[in-house]
Chains A and B, each alone.
Chain A
């Protein structure tokens, strides 16, 4: 039995996708000017509705099941939906700047992004292996297309192929793991798998399946050693698709990872804590050091994304509620800061831009607005108070010091310093005087300004007053760790 009312948020997004497709078929060109803004506004309204409980959850500790127990709505799932809706709104607004609302394929791109967001929303509620896999593939298929979107550009195609091949491999690994887990537990349902993990923790089949699941998700979150695709995919993808990769796909990986670690495989936590911490430290250092020699902003941001994944893995490596809350806060801070950087990138150059660092020269003079957004976003990523990134780092380091130990704390500091250096390199490029041949900048439109202001406000609010979101995060963490 499926109760459609439990799926109301997801159904609304499906409705929105249909509306955009139909609109694309019938609407006249002149009426499309504010499509991006309209879709984003609808998504944000839905996000507000979801944040208020969406009429599904009577209170923060309730759990509502449907689809034979395969779909669960609890405080954690609702938080994921809010996050996914906001992140999708950011991606849609970015698309409305590059390639632009009147460009061919705009509507399709928006529909695909909505699909990716929808995948993440379902993933947050996944309660068995089927809905887990289907929602993850729903995201992946949209992203395969989005990454290769600029098909006249060989770099974008290369990125698309690379992402597709790696992604297919990751899916295969995941499926293999799922099959083993299914075989060991005798059920697809997370509740029963958890019982199996509790009673038969010595089953080699179950453990192998679990390990394969972790490896497959390691690809999604670009954890070392499954991170190789990231810089190439980021470099080739258009900026809005890059935003979808890092604001939707990566968070989705962390969400399902948290669900697996803290719910399904919680009985094995003594076993997974160490490997997750080691992977986190390695990822952090790789991201922090690998970005040092980059001369292309997109590749550099890919390494930055890897280093942030390391931080979030380290948060998850502390098997406590505060670990989950720290990871969720960190994701939010990452959404706001990286969103600002992507906004500035979209504003600073047209669709075909390569974003070499030297192309940024003179940005401070040409557009103080965009340069300000870029700086704020980079400082947010670097974790400068009072921006949210700082409090996220503080929460993670607190977890690391209390649960993982000094070596990991040292790795966190080392990785963070490395990434601070390359953020400063970007700041340096943006503030340096204009070089000859740097392309001019089109005036910043109203929707992009609104997006910048909203993200900057959020970054400051969440950072200077974390209590504004802390209650929701704590509820989500408590709902997950039952």
Chain B
């Protein structure tokens, strides 16, 4: 099942490269068809993961290189299942949105390779493949930006690739150090977790390895001050690459911190948690203020995305069950909203030829669908109730207030800043008198409408029914152990009633949360 999930997009990519598909529309149809099938499979996969009750669903094991303790071990837990679903959904929409001007087959094939690699990373239960699949997905991103990007694409491609590959190398050193220091002689994640629970690594070494993992994963998620690749990278990338990376690819770093760094190195995490919480708050505010000053829509979205990643770090630093629940939902919420945002910004650049807010006022008159959709992205972006971001951020704040009151309060201010830059973009770009550059503008075509509509619908669905995406008894313990093995000592917070009841109980974290010390 999971192997199929990985191989399907890769096989479709090979088919696209090999088959004589001359027509760009046909190439898009093949990619979108594959991705719709992938999304169906991913839904089954998410359901299986939610039904597995904290264990792994669809496990597969094969020997690969037993001498070094590396094995082909796939399995999907709750968090992984949610991210697989997110990747497939974003991949499908991105395939519908992509309109390369040349070499369409190659373009779509690269997108499919990214999806295959990301899905592989989210279902791998062996640290070797976990790493390899992610890195495998990076090179197509580079090529997509390089060949089909904006005016400064070369600079952007070099920067994003170097940063991400350098971050990955630090990560590789950290992962190898973790495996070697554990003494377990295996890269298998559940086995490592069980082994480390019984024989923890010494505290000093944990702190060092955790720092390496934090730098490695942090670079991949644009943790300030390792974020400088993100604004130019996303601003210059074609919609396919920006959507896939901001929507799904970037989540790998947060996912890795949540399933590898924090659970395997608890005392290392304790050393760096405080720094991380303050960095997260700084990131939310700093990137948010920069986003306010952007004129280019795509740069604005890129900075917004950097700023939002701070919520993920804050949740991880807090580590309370409520915060971690919010974390899982946040990954999904941010993924769909960012993908929709970049789809619309890509539409502005490619179809309208204008991406500067100063030159694109009044678009709502010519393109009401696009304007409505962007307004919804904006509302989701600063966490208006109804969209998935609201419960996610609320739970993160509620869970974070106990352990890190000051950073959490600063982060709360981030939503206000978010409202400023998103509403400013809506007002300047879409409302007011029609800009002369847009006199002939047309609205979104059908493919783009379906894509953006689907993403926003997913955000609304997750906003109203978070339980459907997180599972009935979701909490840090089941989320973390959903990647196999040991349950954390913290008792699960069992939420009852509808989403409202859940949010109310989440609003009183100190009563129920055994705040991690």
Inter-chain contacts of A401 with B (CB < 8 A)? 173, 176-177, 180
- Across the interface, A402 reaches (CB within 8 A) one of B146, B165, B170, B180, namely B180
Whether B162 pairs with A385 at a CB distance below 8 angstroms is: no
Residues of B within 8 A of A417 (CB): 162, 165-166, 169
B142 partner residues in chain A, CB cutoff 8 A: 424
Question: Which residues of chain B from 132 to 150 have a CB within 8 Å of any chain A CB?
Answer: 132, 135-136, 138-139, 142, 146-147
Whether A424 pairs with B169 at a CB distance below 8 angstroms is no
Distance, CA A428 to CA B154, complexed state (A) = 8
Within A393-414, the residues touching B (CB, 8 Å) are 393-394, 397-398, 401-402, 406, 409, 412-413
- Tell whether A11 is near chain B: CB-to-CB under 8 Å: no
Range, interface on chain A: 20 to 34
With known contacts A417-B162, A424-B158, A467-B64, A384–B139 Cβ distance under 8 A: yes
> Which of B138, B176, B208 meets A398, CB within 8 Å?
B176
Contacts of B135 in A (CB 8 A): 384-385, 390
Per-residue CB contact flags for chain A residues 426-453 toward chain B (1 = under 8 Å, else 0) read: 0110011000000000000000000000
B19 at the interface (CB under 8 A from A): no
The smallest beta-carbon distance between A401 and chain B, in angstroms, is 5
Cβ-closest chain A residue relative to B64? A467
- Among B65, B131, B147, contact of A467 (Cβ-Cβ < 8 Å): B65
Residue among A384, A390, A474 with most chain B CB within 10 A: A384
Tell me whether A4 is interfacial, beta carbon within 8 Å.
no
Contact among B146, B166, B208 with A413 in the assembled complex (CB-CB below 8 Å): B166
Contact B169 A398 (CB under 8 A): no
Whether the Cβ atoms of A386 and B166 lie closer than 8 Å is no
The residue that A428 contacts in the complex, of B64, B132, B158, B169, with Cβ under 8 A, is B158
Contact B180–A398 (Cβ < 8 Å):
yes
Q: State in angstroms the CA–CA spacing of A479 and B167 once bound together.
A: 38
Indicate if A176 sits at the interface (CB-CB under 8 A): no
Contacts A390-B132, A397-B172; A379 near B139 (Cβ below 8 A): yes
Nearest CB to that of B171 among chain A residues? A413
Within 8 Å of chain A (Cβ to Cβ): is B47?
A: no
Interface of A is mostly: helix
The dominant DSSP class at the B interface is helix
Q: Are A466 and B65 in contact (CB under 8 A)?
A: yes
A65 within 8 Å of B (CB atoms): no
Asked if A416 CB lies within 8 Å of chain B CBs, one says: yes
How far is it, in angstroms, between the C-alpha of A401 and the C-alpha of B142 when the chains are bound? 29
Q: How far is the CB of A427 from chain B (nearest CB, A)?
A: 8
Q: Which residues from B are CB-within-8-Å of A427?
A: 146
Q: Is B161 an interface residue (CB 8 A)?
A: yes
Q: In chain B between 408 and 447, which residues have their CB closer than 8 angstroms to a CB of chain A?
A: none
Let me know if B136 and A386 touch, CB within 8 A. yes
Q: Distance in Å from the Cβ of B211 to the closest Cβ of chain A?
A: 11
* CB atoms of A394 and B139 under 8 A apart: no
Nearest CB of A to B155, in Å: 10
Q: Is the CB of B173 within 8 A of A397?
A: yes
**Is A421 interfacial (CB-CB < 8 Å)?**
yes
- List residues of chain B with CB within 8 A of the CB of A386: 132, 136
Complex: chain A residue closest to B216, CB-CB: A413
- Check A229 for interface membership: any CB of B closer than 8 A: no
Q: Judging by beta carbons under 8 Å apart, are A413 and B173 in contact? A: yes
Q: Does A226 contact B (CB under 8 A)?
A: no
Residues 47-78 (chain B) with a chain A CB within 8 angstroms: 64-65, 67-68
CB-CB under 8 A from B132, the residues of chain A are 385-386, 390
Q: How far is the CA of A256 from the CA of B146 in the complex (A)?
A: 43
Residue in A closest to B135 when the chains form the complex, CB atoms: A385
Please state if B162 and A421 are interface contacts (CB–CB under 8 Å).
yes
Q: A473's closest neighbor in chain B, by CB?
A: B67
The chain A residues found within 8 Å of chain B, CB to CB, are: 379, 382, 384-386, 390, 393-394, 397-398, 401-402, 406, 409, 412-413, 416-417, 420-421, 424, 427-428, 431-432, 465-467, 470, 474
A-B pairs with lowest CB-CB distance, top 3: A385-B132, A417-B166, A413-B169
**Further contacts, 20 of them, CB under 8 A, given A401-B173, A417-B166, A465-B64:** A382-B165, A385-B131, A385-B132, A393-B172, A397-B173, A398-B176, A401-B176, A412-B173, A413-B169, A413-B170, A416-B169, A417-B162, A417-B165, A420-B165, A420-B166, A424-B158, A424-B161, A432-B154, A467-B65, A470-B65
Show 30 residue pairs from A and B whose CB-CB distance is below 8 angstroms, ordered by the A residue. Answer: A382-B165, A384-B135, A384-B136, A384-B138, A385-B131, A385-B136, A386-B132, A386-B136, A394-B172, A397-B172, A397-B176, A398-B176, A398-B180, A401-B180, A412-B173, A413-B173, A417-B162, A417-B166, A420-B161, A420-B162, A421-B158, A421-B162, A424-B161, A424-B162, A428-B154, A428-B158, A432-B154, A466-B65, A470-B65, A470-B67
